[in-house]
Amino acid sequence: MKNTLTRTDYNLPGQTKVYHGKVRDVYTIGNDLLIMIATDRISAFDVVLPQGIPYKGQVLNQIAAKFLDATADIVPNWKIASPDPMVTVGLRCEPYKVEMVIRGYLTGSAWREYKAGARTLCGIPLPEGMKENQQFPVPLITPTTKADEGHDENISKEEIIARGLAGKEEYEQLEQYTLALFRRGTEIAAQKGLILVDTKYEFGEKDGKIYLIDEIHTPDSSRYFYSDEYPERFKNGEEQKQLSKEFVRKWLMENGFQGKNGQQVPEMTEDYCSSVSERYIELYENITGELFAKADISNVEERIRKNILDYLINLK
């Protein structure tokens, strides 16, 4: 896609390392600073899709920045500054090798497993007779492993502690932070007429202190329903209108792709990519209550380079 940022290859002052993730490119400056660039790449089923989505990186970065600021009283986070619409600069922490997934409703991959007969999720028993998109009595924390490559896998609290991925007290603190962050996200979403359905949080450690890292409450890490339509649609067994990346996964499944060997990603036309971009912008405007201001993308790679360099120069 024209004017989308799908890869960066900068050589920044003081750079000691670069990591190209599924969606983000992360540059380490010295020992203590990270520069995280939210690209326009999009992934599903742990596969990076072949086309970028216009403005997706800006949407993700700006939503994450807003929610990091709005939850800093709950848990310290890694963010220091956002010198470009697609860039966050922050503290380098040692990440925990687990993602703290929290679910308020039975949907997505959890529903697919339940429908196939599973009655436990990360060691948590689930009752019989639940329906798709039904609210849990209390939110469930269902962690996954944080895989460097391939698929993340569900894991129980007991396994996390037994495998040394986090100590018992550490893990219980991660759970407390996860519940508190989800409550705050739920409250903010409700003010905008949305339901925060499920999300994931990542944490790291620095100097003996736990920090919230990476993104938070974005459409890549979270799922939202429209609260005014939820009760009627649930009662009638209708699909929920949602703001998340799930619509991309459904489109892929409808076109015969779930990331399995031998499957081909369906053609992502310019019209399709534009429609995905519009959905991302829709989420931004709904969850923030602000109009989305499109940044200049005539030369997005150079714009980002200049803004990062200006920031680093001013640090000295």
Predicted confidence at residue 241, as pLDDT, reads 85
- 223 within 8 A of 244, measured Cβ to Cβ: yes
Cα dihedral sign for 83, 291, 77, 38? negative
Which residue in this structure is represented by tokens 């024209």?
Answer: 2
Whole-angstrom CA distances from 289 to 107, 188, 189, 232, 279 are: 25, 10, 10, 24, 15
Would you state the structure tokens that stand for residue 131, as one six-digit string? 């329906």
Work out the end-to-end distance of the chain between its first and last CA atoms, rounded to an integer number of angstroms: 37
- CATH 3.20.20.150 is the classification of domain 95-244: no
- 253 within 8 A of 278, measured Cβ to Cβ: no
Which residues fall within 8 angstroms of residue 89, CB to CB, at 6 or more apart?
33, 34, 35, 36, 79, 80, 81, 82, 83, 311
Whole-angstrom CA distances from 269 to 184, 234, 245, 272, 275 are: 38, 33, 17, 5, 10
Q: Is 273 exposed, middle or buried (0-12, 13-18, 19+ CB in 10 A)?
A: buried
| Buried b / exposed e along 1-32 (16+ C-beta atoms within 10 A) | beebbbebeeeeeeeeeeeeeebbbbbbbeee
Would you state the structure tokens that stand for residue 165, as one six-digit string? 């991925």
Residue 219's nearest CA partner among 55, 20, 49, 64 is: 64
- 78 within 8 A of 211, measured Cβ to Cβ: yes
**How far is residue 106's CA from residue 120's CA, in Å, rounded to a whole number?**
12
Predicted confidence at residue 243, as pLDDT, reads 79
**How far is residue 155's CA from residue 269's CA, in Å, rounded to a whole number?**
37
Which amino acid is located at 72 in the chain?
A
Whole-angstrom CA distances from 113 to 32, 108, 124, 202, 231 are: 40, 9, 13, 23, 23
Order of strands, sheet of 87-91, starting from the edge strand that comes earlier in the sequence: 15-20, 24-29, 33-38, 87-91, 79-84
Residue 240's nearest CA partner among 186, 291, 198 is: 198
Mean pLDDT of residues grouped by 10 in the chain (316 residues)? 88 96 95 97 92 96 97 98 98 96 94 94 93 96 79 87 95 98 97 96 96 93 94 95 84 94 94 93 91 96 97 87
> Rounded to the nearest 5°, which phi and psi values hold at 98?
-135, 150
Whole-angstrom CA distances from 99 to 48, 94, 154, 175, 297 are: 19, 13, 9, 11, 32
Would you state the structure tokens that stand for residue 203, as one six-digit string? 């944490």
